[in-house]
């Protein structure tokens, strides 16, 4: 056979598998759901949940035993901040505790009876803050507001005592060294802007893996012998051709999903978006490919189409943690760092956050892009190996009886 | 008597499915939960992120700037790993993910500070990882406040003020923080106790839905009902008591591990934990059965709208969490959160309303993949 004929046959087989796979995807409600509805709808729901971004007006109960002008000033200052709302006054700590117990307040400010006396005598005064630790965000709001307002009150007292002549002198007394606090790339510190880019990229991997896995499950259930790769169809003879044919089909879907997730969703909810097109393409191309081949490799583990969903549900939150978006990458234990190298999402998410939220250029995410290409190649190899293995199984299968351990024989239709 | 023997027959049937026929149950009920517990407790073992990589741009190169940097390096949550020549270089390193924050000390800072000309320093931190960003900014804020205080302290002691007077002058009002039930502010205590039970509840709900879906898919529902004497209540109870017992065992082991071995705080005591666990398991399974028969009778679990799946676990989880933080973590009386307790009981009883529907589905349903 001449090399051209062989090449032509090769291409025909790939195209045939592509067509078959596409048909199967369109016919299968479940697969279509995961490949189309999930990437379309889920980010909208998620963004909607986190659209408020930050926690404001955390309710706080005050126990003011000082009843002085200074204590009232402190309470007013705290109440005026965006983070804390002084909602209740209690006579004593027990009453305040009861309010926290009934979930009406998230923290207690206790101003002792000697508060003003201490300050006027030139001694240090203390405000006790009791925080409910069940919500870290609420704790931070309650505690940091008290810290900032105490600092401001102290500075005011310092200025009064200093006996300066000009405003400039006052400002130097209060703050001899000015420190500018600059939060970058997510200046409002919004939770959605921080987590959502990671969720979007993870979703791309999960949706592709779910779709491919479920379609593999369907193929297996429809096949007479419960096999993943049809043993009677000549077009499916090479594992490499099957892998590429399927990759073309899912690549079509993945490309649209990736574009939608990386460009449309952040814009719809006005999350940070500093990415430029070429950089985005440079990272999304290897990422989508790595996800597809990863999904193919995983799909060989699937016996029933529903099982892949349980598997993906199990891994999604740990995977989000491994990307380093909620727990800093530098604090992830070494063993888990190693595990995280197995998943495309780890590097896809990191690269996307840097490109999208931090405006990084290609050279700045080069290590991630390289690893994604390596993963794509490695998972392509793995997918070919497992497909070849499945084909061998399919051939052998004629003799053996189908999984006697099945709940009931998968029905052939 | 007849009911009891039928009940045990169903229990044995379900045990057979879980142990021998479909391995996914073993994975979801035992293997995955164990992995999850190991994952979260080892991942968050430090409690707080420590030694976050931070860079400095020191154009001043004075004794004061060096002491600021040394102090920053000595903070528990930060570590100075890079010294950059320019701010651009520092920003590039941040975009490459090498540092979470950097401190910029311009030329002449020390001289201006001594002369009382109010110099500026700046610190920049990224909020794309909020935990890291807020931790680093806290340390940087403390450092710059210390820088201010150092000047005041030197001036005051030169004027002959006592230590007491200096302390009062620098900070007239101090905050005495009490972090109830989690004095270290550990993320392990607050995240592990949400994510592990949350994912487990999701598994319980999904698996109970899955179990019903599988009966339909393989058309074994008729046999299941027949063995329960066509009594749907016996059939459901027998089937799900097995799920409930396995999950109870798994969750109690998880709780033994976190409360007795890792010593997570639990001011509420043992009884509150047991009560909450029983409710958690019952409500999740109840919700799962209800969800599949509401959403899943047209097409099985797999076809369920995933946002809906997300919702389906969000709802019982919300009540679980409210009860957890009030009764177990803080040890508040349960009467203050009675509503959430009632909600969980209601989730447990939800399948009661769909018993007939399940029965009809089992007898008539045809699965189309």
Residues B330 and B214 in one domain: yes
Cβ pair B137:A179 closer than 8 A:
no
B contact residues 270-289, partner A, Cβ 8 Å cutoff? none
Residues B106 and B165 in one domain: yes
Q: Are A113 and B159 in contact (CB under 8 A)?
A: no
Closest residue, chain A, to B147 (C-alpha): A177
Instruction: List CB contacts of A392: < 8 A, sequence separation 6 or more.
Output: none
Closest residue, chain B, to A365 (C-alpha): B96
Residues B121 and B158 in one domain: yes
Burial class (CB in 10 A: 0-12, 13-18, 19+), B280: buried
B228 domain-assigned: yes
Residues B60 and B41 in one domain: no
For helices A239-259 and A277-299, the axis angle rounded to 10 degrees is 130
CB-hemisphere CA count at 13 Å for A380?
18
Q: Between chain A and chain B, how many beta carbons pairs sit less than 8 Å apart?
A: 315
B180 domain-assigned: no
Residues B143 and B237 in one domain: no
Say yes or no: ipTM exceeds 0.90: no
**φ and ψ at residue B228, rounded to 5 degrees:** -95, 15
Q: What is the pLDDT along chain A (413 residues), one digit of tens a residue?
A: 688 888 888 888 888 888 888 888 888 777 887 788 888 877 777 776 666 656 788 899 999 999 999 999 999 999 999 889 999 999 999 999 999 988 889 999 999 999 999 998 888 999 999 998 888 888 888 998 999 899 899 988 888 888 889 888 888 888 888 889 898 888 777 777 888 888 889 989 988 888 888 888 877 777 766 677 776 677 777 777 888 888 888 898 889 989 998 888 888 877 888 888 899 999 999 999 999 999 988 888 776 777 777 788 788 888 988 988 888 888 888 899 999 999 999 999 999 999 998 888 899 899 999 999 999 999 999 888 888 887 777 777 655 544 444 444 443 32
Tokens 């009764």 locate to B327
Considering only CB atoms, A172 lies closest to which of B22, B116, B121, namely B116
Chain B neighbors of A127, CB-CB under 8 A: 173-176
Q: How far apart are CA B171 and CA A157, in angstroms?
A: 9
Q: How far apart are CA B113 and CA B326, in angstroms?
A: 50
Compute the nearest-CA separation of A125 from chain B (Å).
5
B contact residues 56-95, partner A, Cβ 8 Å cutoff? 92, 94-95
Q: Model confidence over B152-205: pLDDT tens digits?
A: 788 888 888 888 888 888 888 889 989 888 888 888 888 888 888 888 888 888
The residue among A30, A328, A342, A405 with the most chain B CBs within 10 A of its CB, best to mutate, is A328
| Structure tokens that stand for A186 in this block | 């997510």
Rounded (to 5) percent helix, strand, coil in chain A: 65, 10, 25
B165 domain-assigned: yes
Q: How far apart are CA B197 and CA B247, in angstroms?
A: 11
Q: How far apart are CA B146 and CA B143, in angstroms?
A: 5
Considering only CB atoms, B182 lies closest to which of A133, A314, A407, namely A133
B250 domain-assigned: yes
| E-strand stretches of chain B | 52-58, 78-83, 101-105, 120-126, 173-180
| Residue among B244, B233, B283, B217 at smallest CA distance from B14 | B244
Report the mean per-residue pLDDT for chain B: 83
- Domain boundary residue, one of B170, B197, B225: B170
Q: How far apart are CA A238 and CA A240, in angstroms?
A: 5
Cβ pair A406:B195 closer than 8 A:
no
Residues B8 and B63 in one domain: no
- Domain boundary residue, one of B170, B197, B215: B170
Considering only CB atoms, A358 lies closest to which of B120, B126, B309, namely B126
Residues B150 and B284 in one domain: no
| Structure tokens that stand for B193 in this block | 């106790």
Q: Model confidence over B317-336: pLDDT tens digits?
A: 777 877 888 888 888 888 88
Query: What's the whole-number mean pLDDT along residues B73-93?
Result: 92
| Residue among A289, A307, A295, A297 at smallest CA distance from A218 | A307
**φ and ψ at residue A328, rounded to 5 degrees:** -55, 140
Residues B203 and B279 in one domain: yes
Compute the nearest-CA separation of A397 from chain B (Å).
20
Compute the nearest-CA separation of B342 from chain A (Å).
16
Report the CATH number that the domain containing residue B68 is assigned in CATH. Answer: 3.40.1710.10
Q: Are B268 and B327 in contact (CB under 8 A)?
A: yes
Chain A neighbors of B210, CB-CB under 8 A: 306, 310
Q: Are A35 and A211 in contact (CB under 8 A)?
A: yes
Q: Is A221's Cβ below 8 Å from some Cβ in B?
A: yes
Residues B205 and B119 in one domain: no
| CA distance readout (Å), A97 to A106, A138, B191, B335 | 10, 16, 24, 14
Q: Is B121's Cβ below 8 Å from some Cβ in A?
A: yes
Closest residue, chain B, to A412 (C-alpha): B369
- Domain boundary residue, one of B112, B138, B170: B170
B contact residues 187-206, partner A, Cβ 8 Å cutoff? 187, 189-190, 195, 199, 202-203, 206
B contact residues 245-264, partner A, Cβ 8 Å cutoff? none
Provide the pLDDT confidence category of residue B296 given band limits of 50, 70 and 90.
Answer: very low
Residues B328 and B343 in one domain: yes
Q: Is B111's Cβ below 8 Å from some Cβ in A?
A: no
Q: Is A143's Cβ below 8 Å from some Cβ in B?
A: yes
Residue B121: which H helix or E strand, with range?
strand B120-126
Q: Are B362 and B226 in contact (CB under 8 A)?
A: no
Residues B77 and B39 in one domain: no
Considering only CB atoms, A154 lies closest to which of B44, B109, B172, namely B172
The residue among A176, A193, A200 with the most chain B CBs within 10 A of its CB, best to mutate, is A176
β-sheet with B52-58: strand ranges across = A178-184, B120-126, B101-105, B52-58, B78-83
B359 domain-assigned: yes
Q: Which domains does chain A have, with CATH numbers?
A: 3-51+188-397 (no CATH), 58-174 (3.40.1710.10)
CB-hemisphere CA count at 13 Å for A362?
12
Chain A neighbors of B23, CB-CB under 8 A: 405
B217 domain-assigned: yes
Chain A neighbors of B336, CB-CB under 8 A: 98, 101-103
Closest residue, chain B, to A178 (C-alpha): B120
Q: Structural domain tally of chain B? A: 2
Considering only CB atoms, A129 lies closest to which of B129, B176, B219, namely B176
Q: Which residue range forms the structural domain that includes residue B239?
A: 2-45+186-364
Least confident residue range of A262-276, B91-105, B109-123: A262-276
Cβ pair B121:A41 closer than 8 A:
no
Considering only CB atoms, B130 lies closest to which of A180, A189, A405, namely A189
B175 domain-assigned: no
Residues B228 and B352 in one domain: yes
Cβ pair B96:A314 closer than 8 A:
no
B92 domain-assigned: yes
């Amino acid at each position: 056979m001449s090399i051209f004929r062989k090449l032509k046959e090769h291409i025909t087989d790939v195209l045939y598998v592509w067509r078959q796979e596409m048909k199967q995807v369109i016919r299968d409600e479940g697969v279509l759901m995961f490949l189309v509805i999930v990437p379309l709808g889920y980010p909208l729901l998620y963004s909607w949940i986190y659209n408020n971004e930050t926690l404001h007006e955390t309710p706080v109960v005050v126990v003011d035993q000082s009843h002085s002008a200074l204590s009232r000033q402190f309470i007013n200052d705290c109440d005026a901040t965006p983070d804390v709302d002084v909602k209740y006054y209690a006579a004593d700590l027990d009453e305040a505790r009861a309010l926290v117990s009934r979930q009406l307040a998230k923290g207690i400010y206790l101003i002792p009876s000697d508060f003003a006396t201490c300050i006027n005598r030139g001694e240090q005064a203390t405000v006790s803050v009791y925080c409910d630790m069940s919500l870290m965000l609420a704790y931070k709001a309650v505690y940091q507001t008290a810290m900032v307002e105490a600092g401001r009150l102290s500075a005011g007292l310092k200025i009064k005592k200093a006996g300066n002549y000009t405003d400039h002198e006052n400002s130097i007394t209060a703050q001899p060294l000015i420190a500018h606090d600059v939060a970058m790339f997510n200046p409002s510190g919004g939770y959605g802007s921080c987590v959502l880019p990671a969720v979007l990229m993870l979703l791309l991997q999960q949706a592709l893996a779910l779709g491919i896995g479920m379609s593999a499950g369907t193929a297996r259930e429809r096949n007479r012998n419960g096999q993943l790769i049809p043993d009677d169809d000549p077009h499916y003879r090479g594992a490499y051709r099957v892998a590429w044919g399927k990759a073309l089909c899912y690549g079509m879907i993945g490309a649209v999903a990736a574009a939608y997730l990386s460009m449309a969703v952040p814009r719809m909810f006005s999350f940070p978006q500093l990415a430029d097109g070429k950089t985005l393409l440079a990272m999304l191309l290897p990422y989508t490919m790595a996800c597809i081949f990863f999904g193919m490799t995983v799909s060989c583990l699937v016996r029933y189409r529903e099982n892949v969903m349980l598997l993906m549900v199990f891994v999604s939150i740990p995977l989000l943690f491994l990307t380093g978006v909620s727990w800093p990458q530098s604090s992830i234990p070494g063993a888990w760092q190693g595990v995280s190298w197995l998943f495309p999402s780890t590097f896809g998410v990191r690269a996307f956050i840097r490109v999208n939220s931090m405006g990084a250029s290609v050279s700045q995410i080069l290590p991630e892009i390289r690893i994604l290409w390596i993963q794509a190649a490695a998972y392509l190899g793995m997918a070919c190996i497992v497909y070849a293995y499945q084909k061998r199984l399919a051939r052998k299968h004629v003799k053996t009886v189908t999984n006697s351990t099945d709940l009931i024989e998968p029905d052939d239709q | 008597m007849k009911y009891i023997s039928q009940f045990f027959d169903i229990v044995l049937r379900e045990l057979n499915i879980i142990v021998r026929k479909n391995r996914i149950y073993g994975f979801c009920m035992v293997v995955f939960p164990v992995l999850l517990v190991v994952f979260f407790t080892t991942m968050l073992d430090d409690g707080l992120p420590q030694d976050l990589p931070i860079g400095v741009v020191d154009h001043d190169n004075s004794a004061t700037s060096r002491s600021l940097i040394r102090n920053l390096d000595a903070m528990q949550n930060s570590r100075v790993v890079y010294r950059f020549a320019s701010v651009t270089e520092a920003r590039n390193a941040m975009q490459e993910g090498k540092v979470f924050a950097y401190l910029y000390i311009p030329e002449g800072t020390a001289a201006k500070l001594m002369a009382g000309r109010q110099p500026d320093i700046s610190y920049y931190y990224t909020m794309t990882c909020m935990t890291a960003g807020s931790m680093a900014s806290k340390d940087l804020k403390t450092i710059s406040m210390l820088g201010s205080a150092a000047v005041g302290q030197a001036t005051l002691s030169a004027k002959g003020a006592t230590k007491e007077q200096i302390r009062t002058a620098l900070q007239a009002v101090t905050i005495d923080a009490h972090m109830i039930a989690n004095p270290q502010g550990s993320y392990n205590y607050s995240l592990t106790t949400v994510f592990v039970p949350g994912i487990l509840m999701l598994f319980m709900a999904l698996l109970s839905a899955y179990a019903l879906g599988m009966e339909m898919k393989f058309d074994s529902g008729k046999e299941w009902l027949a063995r329960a004497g066509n009594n749907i209540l016996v059939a459901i109870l027998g089937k799900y008591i097995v799920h409930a017992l396995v999950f109870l065992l798994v969750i109690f082991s998880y709780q033994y591990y976190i409360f007795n071995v890792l010593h997570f705080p639990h001011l509420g005591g043992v009884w509150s934990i047991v009560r909450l666990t029983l409710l958690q398991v019952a409500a999740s399974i109840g919700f799962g059965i209800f969800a599949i028969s509401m959403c899943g009778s047209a097409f099985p679990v797999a076809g369920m709208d995933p946002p809906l799946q997300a919702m389906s676990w969000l709802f019982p989880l919300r009540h679980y969490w409210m009860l957890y933080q009030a009764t177990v973590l803080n040890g508040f009386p349960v009467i203050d959160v009675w509503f959430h307790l009632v909600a969980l009981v209601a989730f447990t009883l939800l399948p009661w309303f769909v018993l007939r529907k399940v029965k009809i589905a089992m007898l008539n349903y045809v699965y189309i993949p």
